[in-house]
């Protein structure tokens, strides 16, 4: 039986994530944040590669490309407007092109055909406009063939083994034999008790994660917990290839709960797909021609290439990340955009020697050091670099809990990461100060909503490091949470609890003193009584 999907999208936060955030957010405020996190942003954004094209020119080209892509879906419901919405240059950030869909509310999806189950990360990409690539496919209906229409489901909890044959839409149940932890070469090794418990869990129809997929027929059961419908598509490969290949396009999305344009691969070399806040970072940094710029945690290279483009090839941008694979991605993106003033280095930004005079480049960084004069991002030249106060401006976008990324259908951050990440970021800030010239500019940015990693780290840096706070420009959003908020919601709460404990201790002490006095009083009375008897 077909059904329409009724949406109630919300990101579920585990307690070890939720409780630290409640030190800074009110309950209703955090609830609104969770509701927003599960949905994609209201608009998509790309950055014009200004060494080749202006923002206005890119906007015009984008309109043409999106109109061409929209032909197969038919005309827009709004006359004179592209199916993918309005395309315009941002009014403040001139190299940012914004695509705002003509509808942002979640749409109902009427399932049809066979079913395809994708991973959570794949589903999150689809909600931003991506098609489905083979590595994200986890299971599908038996005998699914190329050209078949499929209803795309997401298992938010990522429980499926790749290659599973699924019958979720027809049975409204999950088969334990297809799930992680319940499949082995010898099924008899799985106890009957575990199988029974697993089936019992699957029979529960409440939802933590969002789409309840209600049927128009109230008697028709909902989908199992954690299974959401995200859209429909057309298979580009058959089931055998989909479940065995390691790369390639697997399914073209024809309908999605949230409308967003497929941007990857459009206008190669002329634009870079980048979230708007990340584009703002480059303008706040404000690199000048001839300066030395450092991006300390650079992969995949969005901020690196933006700084290089703003400088129009004059000066140098050094990009560092800790693995060869990440360094290769930065190098590839810089080459793709035609930027010649980028150095790509492999290394750990938390341990670059920040002070001590003429500090040579660590050995692991020497291997990938690249001189702009030697072919920019193309060559590899061993070179000793003095890293003490070398850079005019530094971008520090350190590893974070990424709680601000959208859409986020589930949060799987380990408790230890919530605890250790702020300290790790502070270590990088300390290193950055040693690399920055006196009078230089450090821009610190994250993609998380955790104030411990944002405002609290900035407050720490202003107290512990030789830095002063500058007013960011341009300003395109509301300011962050001031330190006073932390005092009120975080330290203020702890202080209040401490005062309550002290008051409780004081009351207990006074109570004991009163009891002691009463006991002493009884003792004196007894003594008096004894004295009287003695005198008598």
Give the whole-angstrom CA distance, residue 52 versus residue 87. 19
Other CB atoms within 10 Å distance of the CB of residue 195: 14
Name the residue among 203, 255, 213 with its Cα closest to residue 233: 255
Q: Radius of gyration (Cα) for the chain, nearest Å?
A: 30
400 flagged as catalytic:
no
Q: What is the DSSP letter of 135?
A: G
Give the whole-angstrom CA distance, residue 514 versus residue 511. 5
Other CB atoms within 10 Å distance of the CB of residue 290: 10
Six-digit token string for 281? 């970072």
Annotated ligand binding at 102? The verdict is no
> Which residue among 122, 154, 447, 456 is the active-site one?
447
Q: Classify burial at 118, counting beta carbons within 10 Å of its beta carbon; exposed 0-12, middle 13-18, buried 19 or more.
A: buried
CB 151 within 8 A of CB 109: yes
Give the whole-angstrom CA distance, residue 354 versus residue 481. 30
Contacts of 167 by beta carbon, 8 Å cutoff, 6+ apart? 115, 141, 173, 175
Q: Is 255 left (phi over 0), alpha (psi -120 to 50) or beta?
A: beta
Strands 86-89 and 132-133: unpaired
Annotated ligand binding at 295? The verdict is no
Give the whole-angstrom CA distance, residue 5 versus residue 109. 5
Burial 130-161, CB ≥16 within 10 A → b, else e? bbbbbbbbbbbbeebeeebebbbbbbbbbbbe
Residue 506 phi, psi (nearest 5): -65, -45
Annotated ligand binding at 397? The verdict is yes
Q: Which residues are annotated as a binding site?
A: 321, 348, 397
Q: Which residues are annotated as a binding site for S-adenosyl-L-methionine?
A: 321, 348, 397
> Residues with catalytic annotation?
447
């Amino acid at each position: 039986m077909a059904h329409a999907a009724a949406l109630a999208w919300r990101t579920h936060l585990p307690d070890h994530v939720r409780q630290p955030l409640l030190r800074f957010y009110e309950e209703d405020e955090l609830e609104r944040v969770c509701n927003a996190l599960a949905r994609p942003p209201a608009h998509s954004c790309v950055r014009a590669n200004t060494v080749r094209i202006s923002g206005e020119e890119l906007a015009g080209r984008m309109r043409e490309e999106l109109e061409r892509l929209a032909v197969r879906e038919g005309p827009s419901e709004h006359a004179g407007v592209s199916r993918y919405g309005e395309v315009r240059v941002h009014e403040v950030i001139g190299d940012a092109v914004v695509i705002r869909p003509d509808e942002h509310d979640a749409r109902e999806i009427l399932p049809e055909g066979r079913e395809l189950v994708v991973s959570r990360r794949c589903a999150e990409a689809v909600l931003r406009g991506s098609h489905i690539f083979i590595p994200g496919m986890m299971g599908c209906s038996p005998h699914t063939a190329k050209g078949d229409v499929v209803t795309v489901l997401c298992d938010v909890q990522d429980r499926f083994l790749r290659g599973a044959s699924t019958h979720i839409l027809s049975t409204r149940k999950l088969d334990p034999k297809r799930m992680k932890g319940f499949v082995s070469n010898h099924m008899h090794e799985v106890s009957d008790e575990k199988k029974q418990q697993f089936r019992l869990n699957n029979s529960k129809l409440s939802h933590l994660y969002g789409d309840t997929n209600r049927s128009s027929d109230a008697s028709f059961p909902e989908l199992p917990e954690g299974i959401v419908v995200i859209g429909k598509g057309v298979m580009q490969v058959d089931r055998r290839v989909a479940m065995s290949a390691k790369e390639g396009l697997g399914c073209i999305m024809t309908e999605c709960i949230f409308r967003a344009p497929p941007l990857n691969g459009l206008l190669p070399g002329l634009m870079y797909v980048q979230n708007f806040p990340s584009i703002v970072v480059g303008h706040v940094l404000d690199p000048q021609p001839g300066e030395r710029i450092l991006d300390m945690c650079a992969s995949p290279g969005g901020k690196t290439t933006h700084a290089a483009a703003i400088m129009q090839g004059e000066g140098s941008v050094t990009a560092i990340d800790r693995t060869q694979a990440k360094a290769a991605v930065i190098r590839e993106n810089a080459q793709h955009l035609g930027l010649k003033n980028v150095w790509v280095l492999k290394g750990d930004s938390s341990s670059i020697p920040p002070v001590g005079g003429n500090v040579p480049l660590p050995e692991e960084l020497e291997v990938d050091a690249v001189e702009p004069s030697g072919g920019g991002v193309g060559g590899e030249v061993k070179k000793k670099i003095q890293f003490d106060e070398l850079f005019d401006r530094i971008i520090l976008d350190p590893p974070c809990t990424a709680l601000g990324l959208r859409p986020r259908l589930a949060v799987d951050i380990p408790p230890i990461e919530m605890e250790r990440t702020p300290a790790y970021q502070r270590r990088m800030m300390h290193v950055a100060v040693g690399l920055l010239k006196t009078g230089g500019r450090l821009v610190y940015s994250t993609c998380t909503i955790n104030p411990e990693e944002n405002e609290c780290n900035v407050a720490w840096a202003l107290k512990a490091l030789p830095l002063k706070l500058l007013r960011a420009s341009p300003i395109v959003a509301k300011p962050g949470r001031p330190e006073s908020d932390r005092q009120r919601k975080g330290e203020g709460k702890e202080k209040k609890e401490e005062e309550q404990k002290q008051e409780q201790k004081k009351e207990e002490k006074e109570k004991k003193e009163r009891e002691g006095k009463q006991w002493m009083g009884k003792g004196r009375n007894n003594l008096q009584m004894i004295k009287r008897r003695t005198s008598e």
